[in-house]
Amino acid sequence: MSGQQPREAVPLLSIKDLHVHFPIYGGVLRHKVASVKAVDGVSMDIGRGETVGLVGESGSGKTTVGRAICNLHRAMSPDVELSGSIVFDSPTGPVDVNGISRRAMLPHRAEIQMIFQDPFSSLNPRMTVQQIVEGPLAIHKAEMSATERQELVAQLLDRVGLQPKYAARYPHEFSGGQRQRIGIARSLATKPALIVADEPVSALDVSVQAQVINLMAELQQEFGLTYLFVAHDLSIVYHIADRIAVMYLGSLVEYGTAEQVYHNPRHPYSKALLSAVPKPDPDGRRAKRTVLEGDIPSPLAKPTGCGFRTRCPLAEESCAQTAPEMVDRGEGHLVACPLAS
């Protein structure tokens, strides 16, 4: 027997010490003057069939992580500075998608798809729904006939709750929730293993959010999907995620099961996020909300040591010396704060 692990035991995606920095140029000769440290040392694994929620404020770097997984970071800046690895266990073997060109990524793109945040800007207004959903098929499933593609699009639209006859319509004829369903159908067309959902419900009405989340949960069971679910709302992520990673200023500060992070947050930032979640309070005994002072610092001038120390109620002088490491506080509950309770 070989010493290799069974494929089921190998994470579908393994991120190790990921850094994504965007250079800033200035002067007449455009010299590099600074770097935006959008992602600063993120590590985590995503197993097959699970949902990992990535939570944080705007500017925390969570969207950049999602785009890096899809090898879309160079589309944001061709001069992006990368280090670390993002190993995807593709059907043809492990591949580091952080170390290959967009051209080399093409054979693997069918396996990694993305649902974008804004259903209004992510769909081409000049294309019909049929053209939008079958677009990935024309690239990755060129052997399919036009009739086969049309039939598959009809099946996908029906599965996401839209009538197949809508295939001839254009995006402007649909509501926000319907447009996001079209985006979901497009992401399913190539039968991917991993879907990165970048705040897929944040632009939708509250009444529609639950419908879309329930749909995604159903599709996960039906198609054996794996999700990275990016969001800023911890309560939404709790209802769909198996594990939750909390991100602040480019770094992970807490990582554990959904139950651990939602019901027993250990990092002061996670506690602040959770305290902001609206909860029913019939007895008028609402717990005191933790209000963070100031704004999230600029990634251009990240504080020394712990990036959260400038807003942390527990901060001490020692917090400015070294960046805290993720430490297991029991049962795989990782926390990057030596002062956390």
Q: Residue 267: is its pLDDT beyond 80?
A: yes
Does 325 reside within a domain?
A: no
The enclosing domain of 261 has a CATH number of 3.40.50.300
Split at pLDDT 50, 70, 90, the class of 2 is very low
The Cα 192–Cα 109 span in angstroms is 8
Split at pLDDT 50, 70, 90, the class of 4 is low
The Cα 231–Cα 51 span in angstroms is 12
Among residues 87, 91, 4, which one has the least CA distance to residue 43?
Answer: 87
Does 92 reside within a domain?
A: yes
Does 151 reside within a domain?
A: no
- What is the tally of structural domains in the chain? 1
Does 230 reside within a domain?
A: yes
Does 209 reside within a domain?
A: yes
Q: Mean per-residue pLDDT for 306-325?
A: 91
Does 2 reside within a domain?
A: no
DSSP-based three-state secondary structure for 323 = coil
CA distances from 215 to 79, 194, 203, 291, 303 (A): 38, 16, 16, 34, 41
Q: Residue 78: is its pLDDT beyond 90?
A: no
pLDDT at 127: 96
Does 148 reside within a domain?
A: no
Split at pLDDT 50, 70, 90, the class of 6 is low
Q: Residue 295: is its pLDDT beyond 90?
A: no
| pTM for the predicted model, two decimal places | 0.91
- Summarised one tens digit per residue, pLDDT across range 160-216 is 999 999 999 999 999 999 999 999 999 999 999 999 999 999 888 888 999 999 999
Please state, rounded to an integer, the average pLDDT across all residues of the chain. 90
CB 244 within 8 A of CB 261: yes
Expressed as residue numbers, the domain containing 64 is 9-111+192-269
Does 129 reside within a domain?
A: no
| CB-side neighbour CA atoms (13 Å) of 328 | 3
